[in-house]
Structure 1
Amino acid sequence: MSGPWRTVASVLTEAFQPPIVVTALLLISPAIEPGFPGTMGFGLLGALFVCVLPLAYVLVMIRLGRITDHHVSDRRQRPPLLWLALISVLAGVGVLQLIGGPMSVSVMIIALLGGIAVLAVVSAFWKMSGHASAIAAAAVITVLMFGPAWLPLLVIVPAVGWSRVVLRAHTLGQVVAGSLFGGTVIAGLWWLLREWML
């Protein structure tokens, strides 16, 4: 596909790439505890470890010629990045605990940690869509946090999945698998952790 539809797909892919989606999710994560929105800074701190530092690593590796692009399209290049992201995420949880940050932010990070761990293992064999996983998890978690009024947000999930297929970054199966994984496993893990830890 070419022309205006490909442009739309490119915009969707860039606007809803995992670091952006996960940062937004971490910023709203303290909303389930008292003190929000004043506690959004803790979500921003979490995003530093979960999104900014791994993305900075990707950009450095691109400059060095070891990673092809910021979406890490080559499946073989994904496992080292995902393992580094795991380490960064664990460090983020540790820092938040040390400074007494809201438990809701740590709950979100731990749920994302579980997702990153599974993606790291799967990426060694198959290129499940990280875009689809992130947007599906974010949409479902947002609905669980704020209620049915946010259900229209779920429309973004197939839109982002469509963009990945149109751009030939993933097959339909990889997008569907990513969406199901994010919307059920990551969101489900967040729900269980919230019930257990808060």
Structure 2
Amino acid sequence: MDKSELKKFGILGGTFDPPHLAHLRIAEEVRENWELDKVFFIPAGIPPHKKEGSFSSFEDRLQMVKLAIEGNPYFEVLDIERVIIPSYTLKTLQRLKEIYPESEKYLIIGWDSFCEFETWWNYEEFLDYTNIIVVPRGIKDWDSALGYFHNKIRELWKDNDKALKKVFFGKTTLFDISSTLIRKLVSQKRSIRYLVPEKVYWYIKEKGLYR
């Protein structure tokens, strides 16, 4: 698919240390629900919220994402944050606008990230570059979450009409899986099978990650 055919695409960024099945299923559901042509997985170069040395190398994380999305023609990994240091999401969005100026973009973020969105670097400018889809993590009361969601939008963008049209609540399947849990299980010499794709499982095992 060339750039001219890419009308709408999703952006799923993160440390991906490691990528797991919840990442894949959420991306698939968002792609289907919003009729996206593609979802780009973008591993963070040096995440600004993490201490350097506390995460796996960029190359390991990039390779794991490649293995995780293998076989899905709608998924693609981009390594553009390799040179964006620190990996501020806004800088990535600006770069994507340069590469795909005509495409409509949808940034996929988790509920926990949305709840602290005011801590993101220059978050006020995001809507100039992308739509935002907030997907659930740890939500137990949907009605309360939806009320909080609308209040948060007003708090972040000051009743901006643009925000009401560009920020969406994506009701996807709830997964109680996290990269933190997977790393902990590996360190305890417990199984992580069926939490990560099989090829990612073997990569972690062969590379001796998270021990």
Structure with greater helix percent:
1
Structure with greater strand percent:
2
Report which of the two structures shows the higher radius of gyration computed on alpha carbons.
Answer: 2
Please give the range of the TM-score, normalised by the shorter of the 2 chains.
under 0.3
TM-score by length of 1: 0.27
TM-score by length of 2: 0.25
